[in-house]
Structure 1
Amino acid sequence: MQKKSSFSTQGQRADIGELEIYRMLPNRYADAVGPFVFLDHIVPTIQTRINKEGTGAHPHRGIATLTYILNGEDEHFDSAGNYAMVHSGGVQWMNSGKGIIHDETLNYDSQTDSKVVHALQFWINLPSDIKAEKPAYLAIQGSDVPRKDLPEGKGWIKVIAGKFEDLRSVIPDYSEQFLYHIHLEAGAVFEIALAAELEAAAYLPEMPGIINGERFNAGDFIEFDRKEGTVELKNNEKKATDMLLFGGGPYQEPIFAEGPFVMNSKVDTAIAYRDFYNGEYGKIDYEKQRGQVK
């Protein structure tokens, strides 16, 4: 039996500098899908000026940030001393744990001829015991993201988080989670079965698509019911399209989200702010970190 869509919605503008951004999650219908509590879509843009200022150093606590760079290159700095430059198709993942300051700069990819920048950023809510751990970081280049071709040349699937068949992401699973990028050629169909306990949503970043027999528009965020069933993605367009499918087990603890912090109580949130203003998250040394990479 196919899962039914609970709702669909378009995002709200949340631009940063010259980046055009649509905030898809949270939205007026849902605050979370499985462990995912946030999704920003940096829409495809031709970049005419290099961004040298980044998005601005800012703190996080209680979440893991996951930036999936569809086109461009993303430079990461954080107060734990981590630095990396990840290119088109790659992923930046950071467990903020008990507190960290980070900054990211998205520019067009210096390794290609394309001037397009295009990315997605997710926040993954951490279980309360993980929120007290030390921060952690992974830089995953596009060639290291698990990928499998679909049968009969229908397209491919990338596993950004979680697992699919024999593919498994290197990103840690603190709870059940999945994030798939599914690329479908014209006329192709992809179907996946999901268990009853899983929450799931789909996102169509650039083109319309047919999901369980229902047509949705480009930019639509679609959440499904909680019943066991299948999700069928179909591309009826004349050219290839991309769809995101993500979710996981429902978060079992209270959620208190305020600004850059996602905690389990108002008291926890107040402590997160206190520790940040007391300087306990450290500082970023931009020149030192960039100079460590030859």
Structure 2
Amino acid sequence: MKKTVSFSTRGQRADIGDLAIYRMLPNRYAQAVGPFVFLDHIAPKQHNADAPRMETGTGAHPHRGIATLTYLLHGEAEHFDSAGHHARVTSGGIQWMKAGNGVIHDENLNPDPGEATGLTHALQFWINLPAQHKAEAPAYLAVQAQEVPQKPLAEDKGWIKVIAGSYEELTSPIPSYSEQFLYHLHLEAGQQFSLDTAPGVEYAAFLLENDAVLNNDKHQAGEFVEFDRAEGVLEVTNESYAALDLVLFGGEHYGEPIVAEGPFVMNSKAEIAQAYRDFFNGQYGQISYSKANPVA
């Protein structure tokens, strides 16, 4: 039996500077999918070859109670935070930061010097931490493209990358605090991919730049699609004459209360208030751009 689509949406514009951003999650239908409570699609942007590179960040800001995960489809992202972490990740790589009990971070986004496309294109997720991990110290991990687990699909149908969680024998280096998965699926023209789902696990898809058929329903590029909670098969079909790319993500239901306000995701309003007090009292530290410790 195939899973059915609960809803689909195209998100809301939430631009930063000259970057076109579409906020896909949360939306009017869903607050979370598994541990994922936030998804921004940083739309593809073509940069002129003579355009100046961004040398400073887009704006330092705090987080608490979550881990951020940025999957860089095209471009180069540079990260700084108040715990002293600093790294650059290029096309195909991942940046993961556990905000834990509070951190300030900043990042910039530029074209990848190793690509001739001049493109920037990325996805940013927030992963809600279980209550017991919200009080832990911040941490950071930079995963370059060659370190992301990937395998070809049978019969040359395409390939799959494991950004978070596991798929068959592949396991992502991104830490998991509850059951979670995030896959980048590349499916060649006329091909089909099936995923057997598990009970108690929530599933969603985001179509990057191509249309796709999901369990017999046609969906367009830029759509966020969530599936029902019933156990069944999740089937992706590419009916076009070009390859398609999409992400599949989700995980076990987050059973604790979710209270989100601004950059903080906690379990109660009192904890949100405390997160703001601690931030304004300077307890998250400051970014020292010149002294940040490089992360291998």
Could you state the TM-score of these two structures normalised by the residue count of structure 1? 0.98
Which consecutive residues of structure 1, in runs of 5 or more, have no partner in the other structure?
Answer: none
CA contact (8 A) 2:142 2:295 kept: no
1:51 CA drift (Å): 2.1
Q: Which residue number in structure 2 is paired with residue 3 of structure 1?
A: 3
> Take 2:132 and 2:56, find their aligned partners in 1: how far apart are those partners?
34
Identity %: 62
> Take 2:10 and 2:199, find their aligned partners in 1: how far apart are those partners?
26
Q: Which residue number in structure 1 is paired with residue 14 of structure 2?
A: 14
CA contact (8 A) 2:67 2:96 kept: yes
Q: Which residue number in structure 2 is paired with residue 42 of structure 1?
A: 42
1:74 CA drift (Å): 0.4
1:119 aligns with 2:122: yes
> Take 1:226 and 1:131, find their aligned partners in 2: how far apart are those partners?
27
1:179 aligns with 2:153: no
> Take 1:190 and 1:234, find their aligned partners in 2: how far apart are those partners?
7
> Take 1:54 and 1:229, find their aligned partners in 2: how far apart are those partners?
44
* CA displacement, residues 177-215 of structure 1 (integer Å, 9 cap, x when unaligned): 000000001011100011120011011011110000110
Which letter maps to 1:153?
Answer: D
> Take 1:224 and 1:90, find their aligned partners in 2: how far apart are those partners?
27
1:141 aligns with 2:157: no
1:227 to 205, 226, 230: 230
> Take 2:105 and 2:62, find their aligned partners in 1: how far apart are those partners?
6
1:293 CA drift (Å): 8.0
CA contact (8 A) 2:141 2:295 kept: no
> Take 2:55 and 2:46, find their aligned partners in 1: how far apart are those partners?
16
Give the number of equivalent residue pairs: 293
> Take 1:234 and 1:71, find their aligned partners in 2: how far apart are those partners?
25
1:159 aligns with 2:162: yes
Which letter maps to 1:288?
Answer: K
RMSD over aligned Cα, in angstroms? Answer: 1.2
1:133 CA drift (Å): 0.4
Quick one: structure 1 residues 133 and 154, their matched pair in 2 at CA, closer, same or farther if it must change by over 3 Å?
same
1:67 to 56, 70, 73: 70
1:52 CA drift (Å): 2.6
Quick one: structure 1 residues 164 and 283, their matched pair in 2 at CA, closer, same or farther if it must change by over 3 Å?
same
